[in-house]
Amino acid sequence: MKKFILINGPMGVGKSTVSRKVCEMLGRAAFIDGDWGLNIFPFVGNAETKTMAIDNILHMVKNYHKCSECDTVILSWIMSGHMINEIILGLYDVDFQIYNIVLTCSKESLMNRWQKDVGNRWRNDINLIASMKSIDSDFTERAEKHFLIETSAISADIVAKKIIEMIEYELFE
């Protein structure tokens, strides 16, 4: 059965970097950055655009599922419980094993990562404040089966290896 991995967590925690690493390590995998589903300028995050983004993401996920060259699809995005439910419900007719990974880190680690990622247009003071506040959020309440990884003291390569091990050995709560 093909796998669908959701990688969730605060902005700046390393979701995209880890997702790319998991794809490289697994092979036969596709990476979708959820922001691609809502890549309009200027950015508008309202009910209409979020619904459109989820629809765009579902379209990509289903196309990758149909592709014989792809065994795993990884979606990296900041997802509310409602968004996760919409995505999972939108895949009711697709045979996927679904995994939800939540990445977190300390505020100090987030600040260090943020400062190194200066080329990202989202790395501004307003988003840093919001991301710092979201570290204290409970992303794990957003899914029935999930696995939380604290990434402060480990590299993206190690996080990716942990994710692959968790999936291989079904180490989900």
Distances (CA, A) of 166 to 23, 143, 161: 15, 16, 9
For 17-21, 39-43, 86-90, which range has the lowest pLDDT when averaged over its residues?
Answer: 39-43
Check whether the bond before 10 is cis (ω within 30° of 0).
no
- What topology does CATH give the domain 2-168? Rossmann fold (3.40.50)
> Which pLDDT score is estimated for 110?
87
Share of the chain above pLDDT 70, in %: 89
Q: Within a 13 Å sphere around the CA of 10, how many CA atoms are in the beta-carbon half? A: 28
**Position of tokens 């925690």?**
13
Token representation of residue 133: 């506040």
Distance CA 151, CA 107 (A): 11
Q: Rounded CA gap, 171 and 151, in Å?
A: 17
Highest mean pLDDT, choosing among 66-70, 127-131, 163-167: 66-70
pLDDT at 138 (0 to 100):
60
Confidence band of 15 (pLDDT split at 50, 70, 90): very high
What is this structure's pTM? 0.89
Region of 12 (left: φ > 0; alpha: ψ -120 to 50; beta: rest) is left
Structure tokens, 82: 């409602």
What is the tens place of the pLDDT at every residue in 140-171? 555 556 788 999 999 999 999 999 998 888 76
